[in-house]
Homo-oligomer: A and B are copies of this chain.
Amino acid sequence: MELDERKMKILKAIIKNYLETGEPVGSRTISKYTDLNLSSATIRNEMADLEELGYILQPHTSAGRIPSDKGYRLYVDDMMHEKEKELKEKETEVDEMKEFLIEKVDRVETLLQSMAKTLATNTNYATMITGPQIQQHKIKFIQLSQVDEEKLLCVMVLEGNIIKNKIIPVEDYIDSEILLKLNILLNSSLNGLSIEDINLGIISKMTMQAGNHSELVRNILDAVAEAIGNEENMPIYTSGATNIFKYPELSDSENASRLISTFEEKQLLTSLVPVHNEGIQVYIGDETPVNTMKDCSVITATYELEDGLKGTIGIIGPKRMDYEKALEAITSVKEKLKSVYHTPKENHVRGEDSGKE
């Protein structure tokens, strides 16, 4: 059954009011709050219908109504439609978030961490941002060097200037000439490739060219794979976990403890990364992919950096979160990441010159 326009208006009014106050809302409130000019009695009748349809519920007899998950869902879907329309009308939307501080950023990590923090501060919800997913990363540069008798250091620079390093144990010094050759071999074979591109053909070709160092090359490749291919190592930056204390329905010690633990063990948040990497998702209550967040709503968005790397932004708040504001905020971060990343400021060295004259 479809909701007629009046029911829809009343439902929206109930939800809006509840979002603001956090208190169950009664018929009299709605009767004044809307411009429908209906008496509370009429509203009551409509509310009874809405309840029967499952959009709202009563915490107990003689209390007002609060939205059910189904109600929220309708509201959010509706809002998303509106947003889309708006977006098509306006060229771009105004960004009202206060400017990000992009000082002192010399690594993607730092940027993302500070983004998470700003987002949390602006929205008053908990936030998380994953690092860009490096499965998709291409190797830009590999450098092998001997640290001491027993250790090789393998440094990998990936697209997006993400730097990974691994120590590889060896049994003895390796002739520097050989090291040079290995470096050339590695770079000529692997540069520009992502983890999926490194197939068996390439591997066997490399081990062949390595001659009697084939075993070492194999070890290096293992190290490369582990360093860049390990999904579990996906860095996750979180912030504002303690914002949940601002919402009484989440801040009893049972809930708070569970939620904050989830943020402490960041890996538990990986399931928020959407499988089909696109768009903005709103999970309400039971819908959320993380068990510990059954009483929350979660908004996730996939961001895409200038060079195509993708990651996930998440906002976690109470079910009665200000969806509109949250969506705006997350969109804004998405936008920022799209452009900002292109020229990360390497401001740790001030000099104008750079070793060329």
Contact = CB atoms under 8 A, between A and B. Distances in A.
Nearest to A222: B349
A354 B169 contact: yes
Given A148-B140, A174-B356, A215-B355, A245 B241 contact: no
Interface residues on A, range: 35 or more
Specify the main secondary structure of chain A where it touches its partner. Answer: mixed
Interface string A146-188: 0110011101010001010111111110100000000000000
B245 A168 contact: no
Interface stretch (A6-14, A46-54, A249-257, A300-308): A249-257
A223 to B, nearest CB: 6
Interface in A342-357: 346, 348-351, 353-357
Given A140-B147, A153-B157, A163-B153, A170 B348 contact: no
Given A226-B348, A242-B260, A260-B241, A354 B157 contact: no
26 contacts: A141-B147, A143-B143, A143-B145, A147-B157, A151-B346, A152-B354, A153-B155, A155-B155, A169-B354, A170-B355, A170-B356, A171-B354, A171-B356, A172-B354, A174-B355, A212-B357, A213-B355, A218-B351, A219-B355, A222-B348, A222-B350, A238-B264, A241-B264, A242-B257, A245-B253, A251-B253
Interface of A: 106, 140-141, 143, 145, 147-148, 151-153, 155, 157, 161, 163, 165-172, 174, 212-213, 215-216, 218-219, 222-223, 226, 238-239, 241-242, 245, 251, 253, 256-257, 260-261, 263-264, 346, 348-351, 353-357
